[in-house]
Structures are given as C-alpha cells and as structure tokens.
Chains A and B, each alone.
Chain A
C-alpha cells in the first residue's frame, strides 16, 4: 500500500492474543489517518457509555500519520486515543519523538491495545514478531531507567514509549513519555496504560514506506520545506524553542502567573527560551522524526548545587505551569521541576496546574499544614514545589493523594468554593497556559475542546496576527485582515471552525501542528496534494478539510454518549468572573454572556443545536455518520 502501511495491529492483554487487520480502504478516504481513524476506532469499540476509562474494555489506539516516515517536513507525530481518565471523556493526545515512525516502519498504521494484563507487562514489536512480555523488572522504574533497560535488552536503535511511576499509580496527570523526552502528556492516557498493567511498548521496524508518486511527493515536500524555512515563526521555534515567545506574551500581559492572578511578570527573562541559550543551559536543539524545524530542547545544569540535572525541554508550557504559575521566576528551579516530571512521567501542565491551586488554597487557609503534610506552600518556593510534584507522582501522603486525582476531584473533596480558583472548565482538565480573557478565539476553542480546555485539539494562534502568514490566514477565513487581533469577539467562530478542520487533517497526516497553525508552511491545499501523491486518493482542499470536520463531529459525538452538553463547553470560573489584572485588556473577562454569543455562532456554523450543542441528524448524515446518528438517537441524544 502507498502512504499507509495497510495494517492495524491488535494486542489483547486480557486474552493474551495478537492479530492484525487490513486497514479499511474506506477509512483512508473518510478519516485519512492517525487521529481521524483513531476516532473511528474508539467510537466502534467504546461508544457504549458503560465503558469507563478504567474498564478493561477501554482501548488505547496509537497511530503515526498517513505520511509519517517520509521526507514531508515534521510529519513524524503520533496520536494516542482513548477514554481519558482526567475527564472520563474523549481523549486524543499527540506526541513527537521517533517512536511513531518506528511503529510505521514495523509495518503498522495503528496499534490497538485491548483488555488489561493480570501482571505488569510490556509489548515488544519487531516487524511481524509481536510479543506481550513480563515487565516485572520495569515496574516501579522511572522513565530514564525504563528506557535504559529496554535499550539494553532490545538494542540502542529500538524506540520506547512508556509510563513512569505516576502512570503506574494511576495519577490523573501522568504522562505517556515517548522516545524519552517527548510526551503524549495531557488527559491521563498514562493512567489508562497503568490500569491495563502496560508499562511500555518497545518497537523496532525495518519496512520501508512507499508513496504512489515519489517525484510529485518530493516536489510538494520541498514546497513545504521551503515555506517553513522562510517562515519567521519556524525560525524562532528552532532558535529559541517554544519558550522563545514568553517575553512577547508577557508584554501583552497574557502570561498567566500565580494561578492566573497576574498576566505580567517583571523580569521574566530567567524563564525564557532566550535565557536557556544565552546562559548556556541549552545543549542541543532537537527534532522529532523528520522535522526540519527542530523546536525541542535538551538542557543541562553544569555547575553549582544543581549540577548534573539534564532533561528535554523546558517548553513554553512548562515555564508557564512550573515557573510563572507557581511564581518560580528561576531558570534552575524550572529545570529541576521539569526534570522531575519527565523522570516520574508527569504532565508538566497538570502538575503545575494542581500545584498552583494548592498554593492558593494554602494561602487562603482552605488547605492547612495538616493537609499538606507539613509543607508550607507558597509562591516562588522551589523545594516545596519539588516536594509537591514528587508527592503527586508517587501519591505520597495526604497532599499527594489529594492532588494526584486532579482538580476535578480535589475541588469536590475540599469544597469551600475552591473550584473558583481551579483553572479548569466543566470537563475537568487543568488549563494550559494561555490567557483566554484577552484572546477570544482561544477562549472559544478552549471551551469547545472535547478533551478539556487546552490548545491541543485546535490552535488559533493566527488571531494574534504575529506574522504576515498569520494575517493571511485570518484574511482567508474571515474575508478581512483587520480581524487579526485577539480582542475581537467577531468572526471568532469562523476562525475556530477553520482551525479545527485544519488542525485535524494536520494530525491525521502526521504533521506537527506547528507547521500549519503556528508557522504556515503546511496548509490544506498542499496537504491535499501531498495526500494524493502519497496514496493516489485524490481530494480537493475543501474535501480534505471536510474529513477534518467529520472527525471533529465524531469526537463531539463520543462525548455526547457520556452526557456532554452545552454546559460542558465553558471556561474556568476565575476567567469567566474575574478580570485580567493589568495591561491593555485590564478587566477583560470570558463572561458567560460573551462566551454564549460566540458559542451560538460556533454551533450554528457546525449545524449543531444551540440549546444542547448536539449535532442534528442531517448534520451527521451530511458527514457520512448516519450510524452515529442512529446510535445517539436510541439514547435520545439527537435534537
């Protein structure tokens, strides 16, 4: 087969069974690949709402993209799809690294893990040889130790995906780590692995990827590469990483600090990508498989009391969640916290989110020294932050056990209005570090995101108009470049809608979303042409985008089976009820009224019911999802 390898690998941990299935041709046309086909698979196996995240019937689907393994720039990413434990809803989490490409070279487009093992296990894949192995010597080991052992047993060129102690202990903010420092971090996929007793998946592959028209494919890949090479956003990502934007975000008073109580921090330099470079912490600029940007970092501390600390990152989000958020304006403080999370297998965004909530709760007297096992929590206190992270990851003590279940459960346990400073929405995921009060398309995108409020199901960075390419996207979508400013509420629905589709097809093909929604070298037009050259499946730009909408609707439908309604599409209480602290948009909020206005337009664009937010039957049918409508109709959930 061209583009895809044409095989789905199934591993059933309960029955100790392994089999393969041909990739259905129809799915390549309707869902393209990776995230898209994963959504279909999750629907088919897990639509019954009685299946909860911790049920052995929940599945984990891992998939590189339709063009992963090729020279298409930055096309080596992998989607992991499951019922997430943080929200109990649909979870797609996407990772970079080199593991997904290796899975493709082993001959598989998708790996589906069913059931649960009765003892710690790992999966070993070497092309057609697939085994479920005993993981007793890996259980309890941290990420670095696990990777070292797998490489010792299966070769330095094997690629690993694994969980750390946090995932084993079913911590809701646990992260699936991928070829060491990359992460499918959000939503608690690692706890799903932990519940299945699945410690790791080690892969070695040597089957080439073929494309239908290599010459044409190479030309389009070159076009993308050249556009990215000329893109100012991509250049900055390589030079300073994702954290290179922190100074600019801070100048906009949009860099969340102290649990979203501030947006501007004096002297933010120590927690920036520029500081990593200029102060010598940055050792290497690192790329995921096939990526010509190379935004990933490898940083080390070489001298002083923290000498020897080394890890991947930190990213923008980590400098936010574990730096500005808890008030740690200290390079080495963040490097220490980042390394600890990477080692124990914790999502840095959630680790920081719950830590900030705990600090504010302690400050307010809602948590006492008794609740924190004697820790005197406070802003900018590095040792206390590190102890908190360790307590969460290992479920240690009262504090660890409270925070390990995430804000959704912790706020219910603690009560006392503590949801008011828990930065999550009704779905229950800790928010990523974006100031949605002053960026309205982000606000809408976060509210409707099926996995909770973050930037990783769609990203509307273009609304800032930070580059000519970004302005061009806004002009294309809204008809006028004047709308390239984040404070407008007008046209945000169209901007979010367009980006949803674009983001989805980007991930379905295996591209990094930075190539199409942060830099702009990859776009719906050249993606459609590339998919044609790769597979021989011809689609126009609009048809390609339509596959994106189909998947977005299917993801929405999955949540409807779990009872999600319009009420779940909201934003954290603080952001809806308290104004931004300073800056040009001082006092700005994501009020219910403002959000409702954007939601109405957004649902109307989708042809979804305004009252429930549920798609109509005709909407499903137009997208070729009649079976989905039939299922939901039986549940009484088609308006």
Chain B
C-alpha cells in the first residue's frame, strides 16, 4: 500500500536526529546542514519546524528549474535531482511553496527528500513521533495537509515577525 509521511510540529522537540540520520544514510557522515529534512529552530519559543519536500501536487520547483534538472515520479510524487545538470542556482529553493529545498553546503546541488525510496530512514530516529510513516488513505492525506498547513502558518508568522 502507498504511504505518506506525517510531520507534526507539535511533537517535534527540535533535536535534529532526523537531519543527522538523513546525512548518515545519504553521505555516511553527520551534518544537519546536509539533511534533506531541516529543522527551523526558534530558540526563544523553543520551537522546531520540520521542513522537507512534501511531494506536492503543484510542484513549482520542476517548472522553476531553468536547466530541467528536476524530474517527478507521477505515482509517488518524488522529485529527483539530476546532479549533472543542476547548476546550483537556487531558483528551486525560492520556488518551493513549503520551503523544503536547500542547497548542499559543499556541492551546492539541490537537496530534496526522496523518502529514501519508500522507507524514510529519519522516521525510525524520531522517538517523539513527530514523523510518522503511515498508510495512505483519504484520512491520512487529510491529516498530512492539516499538519502541513499548521507548519506553514507558523513559518510565515515567524518570517513576518523577523522582517
């Protein structure tokens, strides 16, 4: 059965295990800045907002890329970065509605979550349960969107306050 990743900001403790796990499984090292999942921290209110690719239905990143370096799997929604053609321009980072893309600190290539091909390694590291890998049903898809809206509302509020 198809699955979806639920990301609940209210359960996130901001520990960054997920980002570390991501850098480990992708690159055999530990560096939260290389995680395809990122925790935006706001220390004064003890908040951590997990940000990552949502496999969304509108995929503005695809169209934004001047080199056509991003492709999308029609069934899973997973975006793949062609590292040969990616020019490290960062336009996709700006285009992403969910602030889920960033550039690799060393190579400059776009970092986009691929759900580890169907078994996201970060999930087993998230003991508080902020990340859950669940069967895809109408109900879980609805929940995913609701949790995402809450994260984005908080994200925009923080950016507005900072401006």
Q: Which chain A residues have a beta carbon within 8 Å of chain B's beta carbons?
A: 69-71, 73, 98, 105, 144, 147-148, 156-157, 179-181, 206-211, 214, 218, 222, 225, 228-229, 238, 283-294, 296, 298, 310, 312
Contact A69 B47 (CB under 8 A): no
Q: Which of A286, A290, A293 contacts B46 (CB 8 A)?
A: A286
* Nearest CB of chain A from residue B73's CB, rounded to whole Å: 27
Residues of A within 8 A of B34 (CB): 208
Q: Which chain B residues have a beta carbon within 8 Å of chain A's beta carbons?
A: 10, 13-17, 20-21, 23-24, 27-34, 41-47, 105, 124-125, 127-128, 162
Contact A206 B20 (CB under 8 A): no
Contact B45 A71 (CB under 8 A): no
* Nearest CB of chain B from residue A60's CB, rounded to whole Å: 23
Q: A294-B13, A312-B46 are in contact. List 13 more A-B contacts (CB 8 A).
A: A71-B17, A71-B24, A98-B16, A181-B43, A210-B28, A210-B30, A211-B29, A214-B24, A284-B46, A289-B15, A289-B16, A290-B20, A298-B46
* Nearest CB of chain A from residue B145's CB, rounded to whole Å: 23
* Nearest CB of chain A from residue B107's CB, rounded to whole Å: 13
Closest residue of chain B to A102 (Cβ to Cβ) is B32
* Among B29, B32, B46: residue with most chain A CB under 10 A: B46
Residues of B within 8 A of A310 (CB): 45
Residues of A within 8 A of B105 (CB): 206
CA–CA, A285 to B15, complex, Å?
11
Given contacts A156-B162, A208-B23, contact A180 B30 (CB under 8 A): no
Residues of A within 8 A of B44 (CB): 144, 147-148, 180
CA–CA, A194 to B8, complex, Å?
41
Residues of A within 8 A of B41 (CB): 98, 156-157
Contact A286 B45 (CB under 8 A): no
CA–CA, A312 to B13, complex, Å?
13
Given contacts A98-B41, A147-B43, A218-B24, contact A287 B30 (CB under 8 A): no
Given contacts A147-B44, A290-B15, A294-B15, contact A285 B30 (CB under 8 A): no
Q: Which of B32, B47, B162 contacts A284 (CB 8 A)?
A: B47
* Nearest CB of chain A from residue B35's CB, rounded to whole Å: 11
* Among B16, B23, B162: residue with most chain A CB under 10 A: B16
Residues of A within 8 A of B31 (CB): 105, 206-209
CA–CA, A294 to B105, complex, Å?
28
Residues of B within 8 A of A289 (CB): 15-16
Given contacts A156-B162, A287-B15, A294-B13, contact A214 B125 (CB under 8 A): no
CA–CA, A521 to B20, complex, Å?
20
* Nearest CB of chain A from residue B12's CB, rounded to whole Å: 9
Q: Which of B30, B43, B45, B162 contacts A70 (CB 8 A)?
A: B30
Contact A208 B29 (CB under 8 A): yes
Closest 4 CB pairs of A and B: A298-B46, A287-B13, A287-B15, A294-B13
- A-B contacts, 17 listed (Cβ < 8 Å): A71-B17, A98-B43, A105-B33, A179-B43, A180-B43, A180-B44, A181-B43, A207-B31, A209-B29, A285-B13, A289-B15, A289-B16, A290-B20, A292-B127, A296-B13, A310-B45, A312-B46
CA–CA, A148 to B20, complex, Å?
26
CA–CA, A551 to B153, complex, Å?
50
Contact A209 B30 (CB under 8 A): yes
* Nearest CB of chain A from residue B137's CB, rounded to whole Å: 26
Given contacts A71-B20, A144-B44, A286-B46, contact A238 B29 (CB under 8 A): no
* Nearest CB of chain B from residue A561's CB, rounded to whole Å: 39
Residues of B within 8 A of A283 (CB): 45-46
* Nearest CB of chain A from residue B46's CB, rounded to whole Å: 3
Contact A292 B43 (CB under 8 A): no
Contact A290 B13 (CB under 8 A): no
Contact A286 B14 (CB under 8 A): yes
CA–CA, A296 to B32, complex, Å?
21
Residues of B within 8 A of A228 (CB): 127
